[in-house]
């Protein structure tokens, strides 16, 4: 007796596997919504839009290390290459207890958009390990970094995918990654990561680059809306490499940093905080908590603090429907990746608060990463003035182009940045064609 084969389930080219579908609350779901918003503006390139909804490649690795107490711990690590149509993958690596595959997928996709927005010749990638690095000793951190680098070594490389620092990773972590990759491949490959120490093929100005970019686009946008930087009140969430530097540059330009929040708490000072002293305090104690001369307030009051410019420079999902209505600022500059949920974006838009989106506002870091990579390839290093001048030129030009697209199409700066970037990515995709 023969059985007629049961009909195969219908498969359409557009059915996304479950792990790629929107988890509306999570970063990947937010990213997919952003792609949907841009699709009507892509013209004939919308034929390729599905490309943006699927990472090209996602690697999950087990990272076992021996702890100092002799036991073996396993961490889960990821490297996702979202798109490589315009060049090798590029994007940071974060160590954080909340890292998930879907978060890294979204962060890798935002790198594709960011790199295309400032027109550096990269695709987008991101990596991470789910770990609280504050609980590791220096030796454990080094062993974990090296094992992770070895595991993702099959897909990274100076012409394939170039990691960099992100949340809780720094120059030392990049030095270990560079060394591990180099030892495994048999020759010193400085161009495999960026954000390295200056003595090891790093670039002058890289550490400050993201904050400098935040400041640069902030000043440009302020000019457009007639907001005077001198005397402007600034509130900053996250006072590390991004928020700390941006705060310093705004203060040097005559603004007042009136509120700062980080993982240790929230401090305010209406007359303006002494930013260099606060940076030194954070370097010594690890957080803004206990800074002399500032008033400590409840964390939730941060969002309603009277200010002109708000700079979220910590993690995703901070500005939500629950606090967007209380924000006093005229302008939000996204130093972090993905700090504003789509509902909050809409609330801010209705309330006439200008949002400078992550994909352009924090692109200064990867822009100087690009300079670092170019310097490593040519073994010829530039002066800091040259680097800063080139950074400012790229940021201003990219922001100006996005501003015009937003005006012409009457869309938000986020959608405008997506229009510029996605057109570049999908044009490259179309020109390259499908192969094999
Ligand atoms: N982690 C940074 C970002 O999110 C920098 C990435 C890079 O330099 O490759 O943009």
Summarised one tens digit per residue, pLDDT across range 210-234 is 999 999 999 999 999 999 999 999 9
Q: Do 356 and 287 belong to one domain?
A: yes
Establish if 172 belongs to a structural domain: yes
Q: How far is CA 375 from CA 93, 382, 387, in A?
A: 21, 7, 11
Distance (Å) from CA 164 to ligand 1 centroid: 6
Side-by-side strand order, sheet with 57-66:
57-66, 72-83, 124-130, 93-96
- Residue in 164, 323, 125, 363 with CA at minimum distance from that of residue 237: 323
pLDDT band of residue 1 (cuts 50, 70, 90) is very low
The ligand 1 atom at the shortest distance from the C-alpha of residue 370 is: 8
The verdict on pTM exceeding 0.85 is yes
Q: Do 230 and 336 belong to one domain?
A: yes
Exactly one of 53, 56, 90, 126 is catalytic; name it. Answer: 126
- Best residue among 128, 209, 369, 371 to mutate for probing ligand 1's pocket (most ligand atoms within 8 Å of CB) is 369
Distance (Å) from CA 359 to ligand 1 centroid: 11
114 in catalytic set: no
Predicted confidence at residue 4, as pLDDT, reads: 53
Distance (Å) from CA 39 to ligand 1 centroid: 25
Distance (Å, rounded) from C-alpha 121 to C-alpha 366? Answer: 11
Domain range enclosing 325: 208-361
Establish if 346 belongs to a structural domain: yes
Predicted confidence at residue 24, as pLDDT, reads: 60
Q: Do 268 and 343 belong to one domain?
A: yes
Looking up residue 136, the CATH number of its domain turns out to be 3.40.50.10860
Predicted confidence at residue 3, as pLDDT, reads: 55
Please, where are the H alpha helices in 5-137?
Answer: 27-38, 101-117
Distance (Å) from CA 165 to ligand 1 centroid: 6
Helix or strand or coil: residue 129?
A: strand
Looking up residue 271, the CATH number of its domain turns out to be 3.40.50.720
Distance (Å, rounded) from C-alpha 296 to C-alpha 294? Answer: 6
Q: Whose CA is nearest to atom 9 of ligand 1?
A: 91
Q: Do 224 and 355 belong to one domain?
A: yes
Q: Do 279 and 180 belong to one domain?
A: no
Domain count within the chain: 2
Domain end among 158, 187, 216? 187
Q: Do 176 and 273 belong to one domain?
A: no
φ, ψ (nearest 5 deg) of residue 416: -65, -40
Residue 9, pLDDT > 80, answer: no
Domain end among 314, 334, 361? 361
The ligand 1 atom at the shortest distance from the C-alpha of residue 93 is: 1
């Amino acid at each position: 007796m023969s059985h007629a084969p049961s009909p195969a389930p219908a498969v359409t080219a557009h059915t996304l596997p479950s792990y790629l579908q929107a988890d509306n609350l999570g970063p990947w779901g937010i990213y997919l919504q952003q792609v949907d918003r841009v699709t009507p503006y892509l013209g004939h390139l919308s034929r390729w839009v599905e490309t943006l909804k699927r990472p090209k490649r996602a690697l999950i690795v087990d990272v076992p290390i021996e702890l100092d107490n002799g036991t073996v711990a396993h961490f889960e690590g990821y490297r996702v290459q979202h798109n490589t149509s315009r060049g090798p993958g590029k994007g940071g690596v974060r160590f954080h207890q909340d890292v998930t595959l879907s978060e890294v997928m979204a962060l890798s996709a935002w790198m594709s958009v960011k790199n295309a927005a400032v027109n550096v010749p990269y695709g987008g990638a991101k990596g991470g390990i789910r770990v609280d690095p504050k609980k590791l000793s220096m030796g454990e951190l080094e062993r974990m970094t090296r094992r992770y680098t070895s595991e993702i070594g099959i897909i990274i490389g100076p012409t394939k995918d170039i990691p960099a620092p992100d949340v809780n990773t720094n120059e030392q972590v990049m030095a270990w990654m560079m060394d591990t990759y180099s030892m495994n491949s048999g020759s010193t490959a400085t161009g495999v990561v960026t954000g390295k120490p200056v003595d090891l093929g790093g670039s002058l100005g890289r550490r400050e680059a993201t904050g400098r970019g935040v400041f640069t686009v902030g000043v440009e946008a302020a000019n457009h809306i007639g907001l005077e930087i001198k005397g402007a009140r600034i509130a900053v969430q996250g006072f590390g490499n991004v928020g700390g530097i941006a705060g310093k540059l705004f203060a040097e330009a005559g603004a007042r940093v009136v509120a700062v929040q980080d993982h240790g708490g929230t401090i305010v000072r209406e007359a303006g905080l002494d930013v260099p002293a606060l940076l030194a305090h954070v370097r010594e104690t690890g957080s803004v908590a206990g800074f002399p001369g500032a008033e400590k307030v409840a964390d939730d009051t941060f969002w309603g603090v009277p200010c002109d410019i708000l700079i979220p420079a910590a993690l995703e999902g901070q500005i939500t429907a629950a606090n967007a209505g209380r924000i006093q600022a005229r302008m939000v500059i996204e130093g972090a990746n993905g700090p504003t949920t789509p509902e909050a974006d809409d609330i801010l838009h209705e309330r006439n608060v200008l949002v400078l989106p992550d994909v352009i506002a924090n692109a200064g870091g990867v822009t100087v990463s690009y300079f670092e990579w170019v310097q490593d390839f040519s073994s010829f290093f530039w002066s800091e003035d040259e680097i800063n001048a080139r950074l400012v030129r790229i940021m201003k030009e990219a922001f100006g182009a996005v501003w015009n697209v937003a005006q012409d199409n009457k869309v938000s700066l986020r959608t405008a940045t997506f229009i510029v970037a996605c057109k570049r990515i999908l044009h490259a995709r179309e020109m390259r064609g499908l192969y094999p």
